[in-house]
């Protein structure tokens, strides 16, 4: 599993975020699923295709939705950053494995529906098949005997801000707005409840490690995107200043001149850089 998948997983598996995603995508923003009614399930499922071979496959995230001992559903989330024409086949296999696990559970005769949500974060609009019959070629003579299968794909990158505001209420709203290219991310005013998991996702989405480098600098429920971006930009300027100091020292410029040339960098930090460079030379 790549770093991007891991970052998304750690963020989305937070019960409050998971419930918000489910409510926003499946229930139009109505608060139907509560975070306290969600219970983690193993993302990796095992099943036997015959009497000898044990097979494994892994979802991104899977949870059981239950209340007062009554299970309503098993819900899985799959993340996609590229258009996948075979996504419907993948979802069939994930859902089938979940049903197979129920079938093999001899201690529980109850059976529960399985729902998979596909969150698409790609730059291009989703244009892959959303049903089995759209994906495969079916001879007309057997078409009526082939069962169809539909998948639930939500194109997060191309949602309007107004739609996102109606559907989501957790930190996922902030991520969705950032991903969809909100004109000015500083106008995202909601307080961030889980800053560190969100920063990790922003880091892998943008490819900029300065976001993840801010981990631990913000209290839960205190920061906004404006504050994060201010700190992010300051860190970028700080990194640039350090690089300038290193280059000047490598080129034989005296310590006094370097200090005078970079007033926004603390003198003791410049001294440390200077000593490190001059010792090597």
pLDDT digits (tens, 9 = 90+) for 16-35: 999 999 999 999 999 999 99
User: What pLDDT shows up at residue 57?
Assistant: 57
Q: In the structure, how many helices (H) and strands (E) does the chain have?
A: 11, 7
H/E stretch holding 261? helix 255-261
* Cβ within 8 Å of residue 152, ≥6 positions away: 25, 26, 115, 116, 117, 118
* pLDDT recorded at residue 207: 78
**What's the pTM?**
0.80
How many other β-carbons are positioned within 10 Å of the β-carbon of residue 90? 17
Structure confidence at residue 164 (pLDDT): 95
Q: Which residues pair with 48 in a beta bridge?
A: 54
CA-nearest of 47, 124, 53, 128 to 84 is 128
Q: Within 13 Å and on the Cβ side, how many CA atoms surround 238?
A: 10
**pLDDT at residue number 152:** 97
Per-position pLDDT tens, the chain of length 281: 456 678 888 999 999 999 999 999 999 999 999 999 999 987 654 444 444 444 445 788 999 999 888 889 999 999 998 999 999 999 999 999 999 999 998 888 999 999 999 999 988 999 999 999 999 999 999 999 999 999 999 999 999 999 999 999 999 999 999 888 776 777 788 899 999 999 999 888 877 777 888 888 888 888 888 888 888 777 666 667 777 778 878 888 888 888 887 777 788 878 888 888 887 65
Over residues 194-226, the pLDDT tens digits come to 999 999 998 888 777 778 888 888 888 888 888
201 Cβ neighbours under 8 A, 6+ residues apart: 7, 8, 11, 175
pLDDT at 243: 76
Which residues, other chains included, contact 249 with Cβ-Cβ below 8 Å and sequence gap of 6+? 255, 258, 273, 274, 277, 278
């Amino acid at each position: 599993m790549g770093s991007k998948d891991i970052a998304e997983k750690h963020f989305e598996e937070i019960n409050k975020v998971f419930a918000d995603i489910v409510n926003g995508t499946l229930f139009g923003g109505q608060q139907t699923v509560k975070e306290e009614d969600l219970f983690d399930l193993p993302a990796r499922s095992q099943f036997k295709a015959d009497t000898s071979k044990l097979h494994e496959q892994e979802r991104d995230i899977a949870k059981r939705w239950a209340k007062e001992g009554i299970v309503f559903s098993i819900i899985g989330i799959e993340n996609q950053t590229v258009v996948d024409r075979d996504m419907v086949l993948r979802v069939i296999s994930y859902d089938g494995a979940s049903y197979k696990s129920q079938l093999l559970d001899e201690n529980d005769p109850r059976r529960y529906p399985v729902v998979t949500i596909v969150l698409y974060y790609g730059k291009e609009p989703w244009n892959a098949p959303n049903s089995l019959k759209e994906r495969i070629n079916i001879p007309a003579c057997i078409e009526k005997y082939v069962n169809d299968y539909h998948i639930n794909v939500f194109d997060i990158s191309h949602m309007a801000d107004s739609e996102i505001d109606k559907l989501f209420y957790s930190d996922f709203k902030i991520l969705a707005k950032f991903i969809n290219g909100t004109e000015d991310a500083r106008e995202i005013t909601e307080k961030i409840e889980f800053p560190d998991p969100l920063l990790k996702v922003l880091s892998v989405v943008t490819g900029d490690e300065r976001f993840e480098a801010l981990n631990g600098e913000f209290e839960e429920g205190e920061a906004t995107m404006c504050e994060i971006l201010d700190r992010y930009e300051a860190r970028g300027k700080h990194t640039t200043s350090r690089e300038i100091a290193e280059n000047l020292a490598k080129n034989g410029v005296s310590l006094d001149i370097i200090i005078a040339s970079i007033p926004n960098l603390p003198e003791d930090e410049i001294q440390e850089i200077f000593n490190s460079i001059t010792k090597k030379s």
